[in-house]
Amino acid sequence: MSSVRDEGKDRIIFVTKEDHATPSSAELVEEDPNDPYEERGLILPNGEINWNCPCLGGMASGPCGTEFKDAFSCFHYSKEEVKGSDCLEQFRAMQECMQRYPELYPQEDEKEKQETSPETDSVTAETSTPDQTSAPVQDSNPTTPPAPDEPTLPPTETSVES
């Protein structure tokens, strides 16, 4: 004979071999759209923003959570022709907040600096000298045609000096 035990939001049902031999009489419970444990996307079925969505990466919480929510909400509900163009003030406030916490919200150029290791800096220093200048060199056999607004230069010969 089966036994049922409720633990918080979960119901645990233990069954026997005899229970498995007969067709199930279990009734599925219709999903509750307000269930906070239910995984949903960024936008809920009712059109509201799901601030618990893992896709937000925790931006809705933390020291700039309020500013993020204000800016994101403004953008989401924006009716302007250029969506979000009416939200510049909210995005500016969010950016100013994030700049006050650079350890939590690093700038893109700071991330690149952290990714660059001292080894690559020393290799670059060894291979370049102050006398050298670099000029763009066009490949005489380009594999892709230039963009329509890009000027086309005649093929040139390049020489390498040792």
At 21-55, the pLDDT tens digits run 888 777 877 767 666 656 678 888 888 998 988 89
Residue 33 belongs to some domain of the structure: no
| pLDDT for 27 | 80
- Residue 86: which of 64, 99, 98, 71 has the closest Cα? 71
What average pLDDT does the chain have? 75
Residue 120 belongs to some domain of the structure: no
SS3 113: helix
Number of domains in the chain: 1
Residue 18 belongs to some domain of the structure: no
Domain residues for 77? 59-112
pTM, to two decimals:
0.47
Residue 63 belongs to some domain of the structure: yes
Residue 137 belongs to some domain of the structure: no
What average pLDDT does range 99-119 have in this prediction? 75
What CATH number should be reported for the domain holding residue 78?
A: 1.10.287.2900
Residue 67 has pLDDT above 80, yes or no: yes
Residue 121 belongs to some domain of the structure: no
What average pLDDT does range 9-27 have in this prediction? 83
**Using 50, 70 and 90 to split pLDDT, how confident is the model at 129?**
very low
**Residue 14 pairs with which residues in a beta bridge?**
3
**Using 50, 70 and 90 to split pLDDT, how confident is the model at 141?**
very low
The residue behind tokens 């049902």 is: 13
Residue 1 belongs to some domain of the structure: no
Residue 79 belongs to some domain of the structure: yes
